Amino acid sequence: MLRRVLLLSIILCAGCATRPLAPAPDAASAGSGARVAAHALEEIGRRYRFGGDSRGGFDCSGLASYVHAREGFVIPRTAAAQFAAGSPVAREALRAGDLLFFRIGGAAVDHVAVYVGNGEFVHAPGAGNRVRLVRIDSPWFAQRYAGAARWWRERVAQ
């Protein structure tokens, strides 16, 4: 509970910071993508676990699946399947909650991250590491960027 209160205070104060952590000042009333991004931000510091898709630990695609499921969106389990089946998004059209894909080990897409806005993404980097926030323009990731996709959509009020 304390962690959620702290996150909400960070989100609400983001407009005061020189580099806000959240894509929207109030994630509770923001769109689906901003809420997906806010869920990803909540997982920073969580341990990496191969095949993990819960708060006990995450791998990259498990994190993406988990934060989307919290908003009611079911997406494929692997980075390659998420990339292949998602709605492509141009880099200049990225919005919070979009998934970013990378080619880390070769020609195939094998890593995914959640874009949170302000040129930053949250990802589960690998064994021995924890979920963290990284800049999309960091040289290592910029060289391996494969594209982006959107799985969330805005809900229509009924």
Between CA 55 and CA 36 the distance in angstroms is 15
Task: Exactly one of 13, 16, 68, 123 is catalytic; name it.
Answer: 123
The pLDDT mean for the chain works out to 84
Q: Residue 18 pLDDT more than 60?
A: no
Give residue for tokens 């962690």. Answer: 3
Task: Exactly one of 13, 16, 39, 60 is catalytic; name it.
Answer: 60
Q: So what CATH class is 2-15+23-150?
A: alpha beta
Nearest Cα neighbor of 112 from 120, 125, 102 is 102
* Active-site residue, 111 included: yes
* Active-site residue, 60 included: yes
Q: Residue 157 pLDDT more than 80?
A: no
Give the start-to-end residue ranges of the domains of the chain. Answer: 2-15+23-150
**For residues 54-72, average pLDDT:** 95
Q: Is 140 helix (H, G, I), strand (E, B) or coil?
A: helix
8 Å CB contact between 155 and 32: yes
Q: Residue 137 pLDDT more than 60?
A: yes
Q: Residue 25 pLDDT more than 50?
A: no
Q: What is the percent of the chain with per-residue pLDDT over 90, rounded to a whole number? A: 75
Q: Residue 97 pLDDT more than 60?
A: yes
* Active-site residue, 13 included: no
Task: Exactly one of 13, 16, 68, 111 is catalytic; name it.
Answer: 111
